[in-house]
C-alpha cells in the first residue's frame, strides 16, 4: 500500500490518516531528511509481531532538498518488486500553481502513487458543507441546533475544522451537563473566542445600538488584551464600513463578498444589523471614529480616554 494525503484541511486529512494507522508504524520527519536511507530502512523493517510495518513520511515536500529526494524516492520505488507500505502526509496542497491551485498535471512521484496506490486531497469545506458538518457533529452527540446559532459559531471560531471540532466537543459536554439536548444562544458563551472579529462585532453592535454600558465593558476587555489599542479603532471602523456597504448595496452580494473579503453568513449578519439603523447614523459613527483615530495619532488625546469619551457621547 502506498498513499499520498495532502490538502489545506488539516482536520479531514488527519482523520483520513488515523483510519490507516493499524498495526506497527514509524513516523519520519521528511522535512529534515538529508537522504532517503531512513525511508528505505524503515520500509524493510518487519514488526516484532509479524504484522506489516507502515512508514509514514510527513512533510517531505517542505524539505529544501525535495527535488533531489523525490527523484531518488521515485527511482527506488520503481525498483521494488513489491510496492512498500508508505504513506506520504502533507499538511498543505502540493504541486500548486502561483495562485495556490492544484496543478492539473501531477508531479512524477504523485503520478506513480496514483498508478500504484491512492492519492487523497482534502480542501476546506464550502460554507454549506461546513454548516452541515457542524450540525452532524452536534447530532452525533445527541444535540440539535438552530441554523442561526451555527452562523454565530462560525463568527466566533472561524472555519478551521480542527478548532471547530474541539469547541463543538466542549459545547456538547456543556449543554448535556445542563440536561438539555438543544443548543441555545447563551451556551455559546462557553466557546473560546478564537476569531477576533467576534469581539469587534459585539463592540460595534453595542456602539451602533448606543448600548454604552456594554460598549465600555467590551472596550475595557479589548484594551487589556490588545498591545496596540489603535487596532481596536481601526477594526471598529472596518466593521462599521462593512455594515454601511451592505446597507448601500443590498443586491450585490457576490461583489460585496469579494470586495470586503467576507463569507455568506457574515453578509447576512451585517445586513440584519445594518437594516436596524439609518444610513446617516452609520456614517456619523464612522466619521467620529476616524476623527478619534487622527487625534490619537497626533498625540492630542489618549486612546483609552478618547474611546471612552466617544462612547459616552453617543
For the chain, which residues make up each domain, given as ranges? 2-121, 127-190, 197-312
Candidates 1.10.8, 1.10.3430, 3.30.1490, 3.30.70; CATH matching 127-190: 1.10.8
> Residue 180 pLDDT more than 60?
yes
For the residues 230-257, what does the mean pLDDT come to? 78
CB 94 within 8 A of CB 13: no
Q: What is the predicted pLDDT for the residue at 96?
A: 65
Residues near 76 by beta carbon (within 8 Å), at least 6 away in sequence: 36, 40
d(CA 242, CA 259): 10
The percent of residues above 90 in pLDDT, for the chain, comes to 25
Reported as a pLDDT band with limits 50, 70 and 90, residue 48 is: very low
> Residue 95 pLDDT more than 90?
no
Mean pLDDT of the chain: 82
Candidates 1.10.760.10, 3.30.230.10, 3.20.20.70, 1.20.272.10; CATH matching 197-312: 1.20.272.10
For the ranges 8-22, 52-66, 197-211, which has the lowest average pLDDT? 197-211
Residue 197 buriedness (CB in 10 A; 0-12 / 13-18 / 19+)? middle
Strands 2-6 and 24-29: unpaired
Q: What is the predicted pLDDT for the residue at 46?
A: 47
For residue 146, give the nearest of 116, 194, 189, 187 by alpha carbon.
187
Domain 2-121 is classified in which CATH homologous superfamily?
P-loop containing nucleotide triphosphate hydrolases (3.40.50.300)
Element (H, E) at 5: strand 2-6
Q: What is the predicted pLDDT for the residue at 233?
A: 80
d(CA 241, CA 233): 12
CA angle 15, 116, 60 (to 5 degrees): 55
Amino acid at each position: 500500500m502506498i498513499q499520498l494525503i495532502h490538502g489545506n484541511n488539516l482536520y479531514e486529512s488527519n482523520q483520513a490518516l488515523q483510519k490507516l494507522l493499524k498495526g506497527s508504524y514509524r513516523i519520519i520527519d521528511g522535512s529534515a531528511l538529508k537522504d532517503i536511507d531512513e525511508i528505505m530502512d524503515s520500509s524493510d523493517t518487519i514488526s516484532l509481531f509479524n504484522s506489516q510495518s507502515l512508514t509514514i513520511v510527513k512533510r517531505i515536500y517542505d524539505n529544501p532538498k525535495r527535488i533531489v529526494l523525490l527523484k531518488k524516492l521515485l527511482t527506488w520505488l520503481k525498483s521494488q518488486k513489491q510496492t512498500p507500505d508508505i504513506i506520504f502526509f502533507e499538511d498543505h496542497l502540493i504541486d500548486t500553481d502561483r495562485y495556490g491551485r492544484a496543478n492539473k498535471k501531477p508531479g512524477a512521484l504523485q503520478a506513480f502513487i496514483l498508478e500504484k496506490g491512492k492519492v487523497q486531497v482534502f480542501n476546506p469545506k464550502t460554507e454549506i458543507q461546513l454548516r452541515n458538518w457542524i450540525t452532524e457533529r452536534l447530532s452525533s452527540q445527541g444535540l440539535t441546533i438552530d441554523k442561526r446559532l451555527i452562523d454565530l459559531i462560525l463568527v466566533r471560531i472561524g472555519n478551521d475544522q480542527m478548532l471547530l471540532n474541539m469547541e463543538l466537543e466542549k459545547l456538547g459536554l456543556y449543554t448535556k451537563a445542563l440536561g438539555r439536548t438543544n443548543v441555545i444562544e447563551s451556551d455559546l458563551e462557553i466557546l473560546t473566542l478564537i476569531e477576533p472579529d467576534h469581539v469587534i462585532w459585539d463592540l460595534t453592535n453595542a456602539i451602533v445600538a448606543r448600548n454604552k454600558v456594554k460598549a465600555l465593558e467590551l472596550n475595557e476587555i479589548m484594551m487589556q488584551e490588545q498591545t496596540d489599542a489603535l487596532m481596536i479603532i481601526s477594526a471598529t471602523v472596518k466593521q462599521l464600513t462593512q455594515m454601511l456597504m451592505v446597507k448601500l448595496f443590498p443586491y450585490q452580494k457576490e461583489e460585496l463578498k469579494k470586495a470586503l473579503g467576507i463569507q455568506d453568513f457574515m453578509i447576512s449578519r451585517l445586513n440584519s444589523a445594518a437594516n436596524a439603523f439609518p444610513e446617516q447614523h452609520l456614517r456619523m459613527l464612522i466619521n467620529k471614529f476616524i476623527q478619534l483615530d487622527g487625534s490619537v495619532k497626533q498625540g492630542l488625546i489618549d486612546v483609552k480616554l478618547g474611546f471612552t469619551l466617544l462612547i459616552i457621547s453617543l
